[in-house]
Amino acid sequence: MKLSELKKQEEAIVKRVNATGDLKQRLASFGLLKGANIRVIDFALGKSTIEIMVDGTLLALRKSEAENIEVEPKWAVTVAK
């Protein structure tokens, strides 16, 4: 599942960050990499920008960036167990 497909207030764990170079580095410096806990806080008008919480940090992302982040929703984890 993509980060951009999550709904408001849904929590998830990052599985994979499909980015390279600069962007990957930037995301990593905010702690947004494999294994990070995230929660979707809000969307801007038209879902063009997404606000998420990554381990205690509030972060804003564009939809195009969020589409490159694969996540596993927390409810999926509980169901699987």
Partner 1 sequence: MGCNSCEIDKKPQSGLGAIKIALAGQPNVGKSMLINAMSGGNRVKVGNFSGVTVDKMEICFEHHCHHFDLIDLPGTYSIDGFTQEEKVAKDFLMNEEYDLILNVVDSTNLQRNLLLTCELLELNKKMVVALNMADEAKKDGIDIDIEQLQKILGVKVIMVSAKTGEGVDELLDTMHDIVDSGKREHNNLIYSDPLEEEIIKIRKFLDEKGFSYKDWSNREVAIGLLFEQESLYKELHDNPIMIELYPLIRDSLTHIYTHHETKNIKEIKAVEHASIARGIALEVVKQHSISKSLTLTQKIDSVLLNKYLGIPIFLFFMWGLFQLTFTFGNYPMDYINSAIGAFGDFVGSHITNDNIRSLVVDGIIAGVGAVLLFLPNIIILYIGIALLETTGYMSRVAFLLDGFFHKFGLHGKSFIPLVTGFGCTVPAYMAARTLKSEKDRLITLFILGFMSCGARLPIYVLFTGAFFSEAESGNILFLIYISGALLGLIMAKVLRVVVFKGEDEPFVMEMPKYRLPSFKLIWHTVYSNAASYLNKAGTFILLASMIIWFSSNYPKQPELEKIYSVKIEQASTKVAKNRLATELKAKELENSYLGKIGKFSEPFFAPLGFDWRLSVALEAGLAAKEVVVSTLGVLYSVGEVDETSKSLKDILHKNLNIPIAMSFIVFVMIYLPCFAASRVFTKEAGGIKYFVYLFLFTTTTAWVLSFITYRVGLLIFGA
Closer to partner 1 by CB, 46 or 79: give it. Answer: 46
Residue-wise burial string across 4-35, b where 16 or more C-beta atoms lie within 10 A, e elsewhere = bebeeebebebeebebeeeeeeebeeebbbee
Q: Is residue 13 near partner 1 by the rule CB under 8 A?
A: no
Closer to partner 1 by CB, 1 or 33: give it. Answer: 33
| 57: nearest Cα among 33, 19, 31 | 31
| Nearest approach, Cβ of residue 61 and partner 1 (Å) | 6
Q: Which residues bind partner 1 (CB under 8 A)?
A: 21-36, 41-46, 48-49, 51, 54-62, 64-65
